[in-house]
């Protein structure tokens, strides 16, 4: 079953129509548009669940080495501990769940769109 094509862009200048056509083609190609990493999606889901524990968050964060490293880096920064933080549990306690969610979304977005750029070029 073929998906319905959506015209994302309306262009009034005919000389720029090729840009709109190219972007529409790229956006409709599921193999090019990046998917969001599972870890980021799982963290967002955990944030919404009142029964989620810090251990649950730590388990999910440790599935993604880039995210874990970034959380440790932020927690060790001057704005938080100003000392070396060595565990995800410590990082979670210092920076909090909402900040970890923001970091996860940032790491996921940067990662997804760096791959997207390579496919589009």
pLDDT per residue as tens digits for the range 43-81: 888 888 889 899 999 999 999 888 889 889 988 887 777
Tell whether 108 and 61 lie within a shared domain.
Answer: yes
Predicted local distance difference test score (pLDDT) of residue 116: 58
Give the integer Cα–Cα distance in Å for 6 and 16. 18
Tell whether 78 and 95 lie within a shared domain.
Answer: yes
Predicted local distance difference test score (pLDDT) of residue 51: 92
Tell whether 70 and 29 lie within a shared domain.
Answer: no
Tell whether 29 and 46 lie within a shared domain.
Answer: no
Give the integer Cα–Cα distance in Å for 48 and 41. 11
Domain of 5 in residue numbering reads as: 1-33
Tell whether 42 and 77 lie within a shared domain.
Answer: yes
Tell whether 43 and 27 lie within a shared domain.
Answer: no
- What pTM, to 2 d.p., does this model score? 0.61
Tell whether 75 and 105 lie within a shared domain.
Answer: yes
Tens digits of residue pLDDT in 11-35 = 677 777 888 787 777 767 766 656 6
What's the mean pLDDT in 89-106?
87
Tell whether 28 and 62 lie within a shared domain.
Answer: no
Q: Is the pLDDT of residue 5 over 90?
A: no
| Counted domains in the chain | 2
What dihedral angle (degrees, nearest 10) is formed by the CA atoms of 93, 95, 101, 104? -110
Predicted local distance difference test score (pLDDT) of residue 15: 76
Tell whether 104 and 63 lie within a shared domain.
Answer: yes
Predicted local distance difference test score (pLDDT) of residue 28: 72
Tell whether 43 and 70 lie within a shared domain.
Answer: yes
Tell whether 51 and 28 lie within a shared domain.
Answer: no
């Amino acid at each position: 079953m073929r998906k319905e094509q959506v015209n994302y862009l309306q262009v009034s200048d005919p000389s720029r129509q090729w840009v709109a056509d190219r972007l529409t083609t790229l956006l409709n190609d599921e193999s090019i548009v990046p998917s969001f990493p599972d870890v980021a999606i799982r963290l967002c889901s955990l944030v919404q669940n009142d029964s989620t524990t810090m251990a649950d968050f730590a388990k999910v964060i440790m599935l993604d080495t880039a995210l874990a490293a970034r959380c440790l880096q932020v927690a060790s920064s001057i704005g938080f501990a100003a000392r070396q933080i060595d565990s995800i549990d410590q990082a979670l306690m210092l920076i909090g769940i909402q900040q970890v969610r923001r970091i996860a979304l940032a790491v996921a977005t940067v990662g997804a769109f760096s791959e997207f750029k390579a496919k589009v070029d």
